[in-house]
Homo-oligomer: A and B are copies of this chain.
Amino acid sequence: MINKLNDKIKKTGAPIVVGLDPMLSYLPQHLLDEAVQERGESLEAVADAIFAYNKQIVDATCDLIPAVKPQIAMYEQFGLPGLEAFKKTVDYCHEKDLVVIGDVKRGDIGSTSAAYATAHIGKVAVGNKTFTPFDEDFATVNPYLGSDGIKPFVDVCKEEKKGLFILVKTSNPSSGEFQDREIVDDEGNKRPLYEFVGQMVDRWGSDCMGDEFSYIGAVVGATYPEMGKVLREIMPKSYILVPGYGAQGGKGADLVNFFNKDGLGAIVNSSRGIIAAYKQEKYQSMGITEKNFADASRLAVEDMIADIASALR
């Protein structure tokens, strides 16, 4: 799957991923009204509106981008109907041949991690039949529990040719509270915890190679470009998934450090900046209204591609 992701990035020239994180406040009122008219004030109505919203955004952008990243929390908060919309979104994105990164940040130990891996990137057998529960292509994973928590995911990746992005340095302001603490690594060197986690990602990924990159990637926030530079060197074979561009403050120029010299090796996420672009004055002044929100998403994708391309030039 890392080969497919890398190929699609080369083909589109767009090392970007659209974060399908449909907060209630982003949903255009007319989509919500239509769904409530049909389903009443219910979780099912919200789920229908979410799927309609995602579908139009995907339709408007899928020829420009390699991948999407639905954030499962935004669906999980609407209970079972919300998770049904998550699954429908994953399936629809596959129909459009997009790579789907499930932003699930799961992580547990042994058989429990194996169950999460099955849920998101694996298969489960019931008698003679086999099912793919949520069927994403990549999953994000939390490393706090150590190798026991990661190995079961890696095993499923090898079997299914899928991939992971492991949290290394997250984009939020307080990510340093634990991640930046100085520790002593296995070679006796002092370094921040995130660097040591990066070393481990490199180690875990070394026997999971695709053609050019490992199946095992890392998450490093756009908001910490200097740390991105160091981590790029520590994990030369790992794709870096970069959140925090746009709304969280990361700029195009900050992103250079996350890429290899050939412009590959990183994929930058934007959620609000694309899916809620219709709320920005910039696009409203170009004739965008809530009704044609998906056109704004396309414009925002084009702008983001140009911003990153100019930074990488």
- A residues near B, CB below 8 A? 21, 23-24, 36, 41-43, 45-46, 71, 73-74, 76-80, 82-84, 87, 105-113, 115-116, 118-120, 122, 124, 126-129, 131, 133-134, 142-149, 167, 170-179, 181-184, 193, 196-197, 200
Contacts and interface: CB of A to CB of B under 8 A. Distances in A.
Contacts of A174: 145-149
Contact of A172 (B84, B87, B145, B182): B145
Contact of A193 (B80, B122, B178): B178
B108 A76 contact: no
Given A80-B83, A109-B170, 12 more contacts: A36-B126, A41-B129, A73-B112, A73-B116, A77-B115, A79-B133, A105-B142, A107-B142, A144-B179, A146-B175, A183-B183, A183-B193
A119 B105 CA distance: 15
A178 B149 contact: no
10 contacts: A41-B127, A73-B115, A73-B119, A74-B115, A77-B119, A83-B83, A145-B167, A145-B175, A181-B184, A183-B193
Q: Which of A119, A124, A129 has the most CB of B within 10 A?
A: A119
